Amino acid sequence: MNHLGIKKGDKVVIIGGGFAGLHLATALMKADLRVILVDKQNHHQFQPLFYQVATGRLEPSSISFPFRKIFQKSKNVDFRMADIINISPTEKKIMTSYDRTITYDHLIIATGCKTNFFGNKAMSENAFSMKTTEESIDIRNKILFSFEKEIFARPEEKQAWLNIVIVGAGATGVELSGAFAELKKNVLPKDYHNIDFSKFNIILLEGSKYTLNNMSEESKVSSRVYLEEMGVIVKTETMIESYDGNVAVLNTGEKIPTKNVIWAAGVTGNIIDGLEPQDIFRNRYIVDRFNKLKRFDNIYALGDIAYMETPKFPKGQPQVANVAITQAKNLGKNIIKSLKNENFEPIEYEYKDLGMMATIGKHKAVVELPFIKFKGPLAWYVWMFLHLMLILSVRNKIVIFFNWAWSYLTQDTSLRLITKINYQKEKVTDI
């Protein structure tokens, strides 16, 4: 047996098929282990492009990858579609929502994050979040439906259908706002000739002083300038206090009539019942430099759900995709090398910050690399290239590239299907 306690033939169960879980399962495809990947979805979701699904630029299938397709040629990796509701460390098993158990020798938790509404129940019930492909589709359907609804709405109700409020000016909020602004300028007026789109407002709220608050001063300023040039109403140092599905009340006292509030203001870890409070800090599992939970020899956590203190990051690793990917790769290498050599000393993890980037609109983006910062058209092309390279399959790369090229040349998109909506019967005064 090696330093990690993993031996050939052991059963390794990975909960979560996000960036961390998928990359670890891929790294172990040829290892002499039995690997089971469990996820409540049957596909991997490329979260950085959710906003493009929500704004009708990409089809969901372009950024979704079925797990069984990914591992169809693997002899040791299998997939189970299930929601995990409990972990029993003493019995070495997990309980699924199907009232069935999955046993394990070693468990890797890679459940990622969910939207954090900070205890605001009304907000969670009435606002949209965007953490899954399905939620992105819901936003697309509702926003498109809003324009159909506006046509039939009473005069006093029309503005509520034409106000979109986006809460949180991190990368997600900024990219969503910019995408909606381009739809307003280039696409929607061609489709809806009888709607006055000068009244269509995209309102971005941010509690801090800046947009893209975790980037440099230059990027903060540039992103806001880009957004306001595109017609986005940016309100910093402003928070939403309540939303009942019809009116958003801000901490400034302002009331905004709106049928569409999108919450992009924060995340919290997807904690599973079964472990003790002492294993958790700020809704993340406390792990050592090898991603192992400190009280267990056979339970690990990866990515957003893992809280790891290191010399460079004494307050924990940032919750970004590259951390999840590199932690998974590091653990995968440690496991494989340990299986081959019992005396192998596992390598401690440390995150190497490769930079940050965000796109706001056509030829409008900011990129910060360790050795250079830049913005504008070059940054926009770099953003597109790097995200295209991260897409899993060649087919999907081609599909996304074609959609982006078509949108670039025509300033249009044909992906405006309303596929699911709960139509409400309302009395109208005029048609």
User: Which residue among 250, 265, 280 closes a domain?
Assistant: 265
For residue 87, give Cα distances in angstroms to 37, 90, 108: 15, 9, 11
Q: Nearest 5°: CA angle at 218, between 214 and 222?
A: 95
Chain segment 52-90, per-residue pLDDT in tens:
999 998 999 999 999 999 999 999 999 999 999 999 999
Domain boundary at 265, 285, 304, which?
A: 265
- Please report which confidence band the pLDDT of residue 417 belongs to, taking 50, 70 and 90 as the band edges: confident
Q: Which of residues 324, 340, 356 is at a domain's end? A: 340
Task: Specify whether 320 is located in the same domain as 260.
Answer: no
In a domain, 82, yes or no: yes
**Could you give the number of structural domains in the chain?**
2
DSSP string, 115-140: E--TT-HHHHHHSB--SSHHHHHHHH
303 and 226 part of one domain: no
What whole-number distance in Å separates Cα of residue 137 and Cα of residue 8? 43
- 210 within some domain: yes
Phi-psi label, residue 199: left if phi above 0, alpha if psi -120 to 50, beta otherwise:
alpha
Cβ pair 283, 268 in contact under 8 A:
yes
List the CATH number of the domain containing 299. 3.50.50.60
* Residue type at 373 in one-letter notation: K
pLDDT the model gives residue 289 = 96
Average pLDDT of span 318-345: 93
d(CA 282, CA 42): 29
DSSP tag of 279 = G
Could you give the CA distance from residue 40 to residue 30 in angstroms, rounded to a whole number? 25
Residue 54 lies in a domain: yes
2 pLDDT band (50/70/90 cuts)? low
Looking up residue 134, the CATH number of its domain turns out to be: 3.50.50.100
Is the pLDDT score of 184 beyond 90? Answer: yes
Taking CB atoms within 8 Å and a gap of at least 24, the contacts of 284-288 are: 284/316, 285/109
Q: What is the pLDDT of residue 310?
A: 95
Percent of the chain with pLDDT over 90: 85
151 in any annotated domain: yes
* Integer Cα distance of 367 and 354 in angstroms: 11
Q: At 328, which helix (H) or strand (E)? A: helix 321-340
Question: Does 242 lie in the same domain as 297?
Answer: no
Q: Are 326 and 306 in contact (CB under 8 A)?
A: no
Averaged pLDDT for residues 119-142: 92
CA distance 312 to 358: 24
Do 248 and 146 lie in one domain? The reply is yes
Is pTM beyond 0.95 here? no
In tens, the pLDDT along 235-255 reads 999 999 999 999 999 999 999
How many whole angstroms separate alpha carbon 366 and alpha carbon 216? 10
414 found inside a domain? no
DSSP letter (8 states) at residue 337? H
Residues 130, 227 within the same domain = yes
Note the pLDDT of residue 28. Answer: 97
Residues 166, 286 share a domain: no
For 9, other C-beta atoms within 10 Å of its C-beta total: 10
User: What b-and-e string marks burial along 372-387, b requiring 16 or more CB atoms within 10 Å of the CB?
Assistant: ebbbeeebbebbbeeb
Among 27, 68, 41, 70, which residue's Cα sits nearest to residue 391? 70
How many Å from the N-terminal Cα to the C-terminal Cα in the chain?
A: 75
User: What is the extent of the structural domain holding 173?
Assistant: 121-265
253 and 242 fall within a common domain: yes
251 & 301 share domain: no
- Is the separation of the CB atoms in 283 and 269 below 8 Å? yes
SS3 of 189-200: the string is: HHHCCCCCHHHC
User: Which residue from 276, 348, 311 is spatially nearest to 89, judged by alpha carbons?
Assistant: 276
Please indicate, yes or no, whether residues 215 and 283 belong to a single structural domain of this protein.
Answer: no
Residue 191 domain-assigned (yes or no): yes
> What is the reported pLDDT for 146?
94
Whether residue 230 is found in the same domain as residue 241: yes
Claim to verify: residue 207 and residue 289 sit in the same structural domain? no
Answer yes or no: is 377 within a domain. no
- Residue 426: per-residue pLDDT: 43
Let me know if residue 319 belongs to a domain.
yes
423: exposed, middle or buried (Cβ count in 10 Å: 0-12, 13-18, 19+)? exposed
Same-domain pairing of 261 and 284: no
